[in-house]
Amino acid sequence: MADVHDKATRSYNMSRIKNKNTKPEILVRKFLFANGFRYRINDKKLPGKPDIVLPKYKTVIFVNGCFWHGHENCRYFKLPATRTDWWKEKIEKNIENDLKKHAQLKVAGYKVIVIWECELKGKTKEITLIELKKEFEITKKK
């Protein structure tokens, strides 16, 4: 199956995809701030430049896009019909890199939380954010 766009259009479309300050990240950041949690974003000193770092809780949050990070059994993750082998290899490498960075952060004493893009849509959004808040309230009590 051929791509529905010419090379220049596809290149432009791909260049418009953000890797920072995405809508799901901003949603989580606004929720955290509104609930009194203070954080840093994209700390370059930490492995993987986590999307959100809560130093007080020694916790990092990655807000992953389902497609780019290969979220299994998710309706938002489907390998493209064109260049399937290339995409499969790329996404597998992303997953491998994620696991490596998470392990490095855990060794450094950080708790790693991964929130998937699909968890921040529709009815599951409130559940995900409430669970996140509970996670920090448990940590506060320790």
The answer to whether 38 and 48 have CB atoms below 8 angstroms apart is no
What does each of the 142 residues of the chain score in pLDDT, given as a tens digit? 566 667 677 566 555 566 677 889 999 999 999 999 999 999 999 999 999 999 999 999 999 999 989 999 998 888 888 888 998 999 999 999 999 999 999 999 999 999 999 999 887 888 888 888 888 776 655 5
What is residue 140's predicted lDDT score, i.e. its pLDDT?
59
pTM: 0.84
What is residue 81's predicted lDDT score, i.e. its pLDDT?
83
What is residue 96's predicted lDDT score, i.e. its pLDDT?
97
Distance CA 61, CA 33 (A): 14
Q: Which residues, 6+ apart, have CB-to-CB distance to 113 below 8 Å?
A: 59, 60, 61, 62, 132, 135
Domains of the chain: 20-141 (3.40.960.10)
Distance CA 84, CA 106 (A): 33
What is residue 43's predicted lDDT score, i.e. its pLDDT?
94
What is residue 21's predicted lDDT score, i.e. its pLDDT?
78
What is residue 79's predicted lDDT score, i.e. its pLDDT?
87
What is residue 51's predicted lDDT score, i.e. its pLDDT?
95
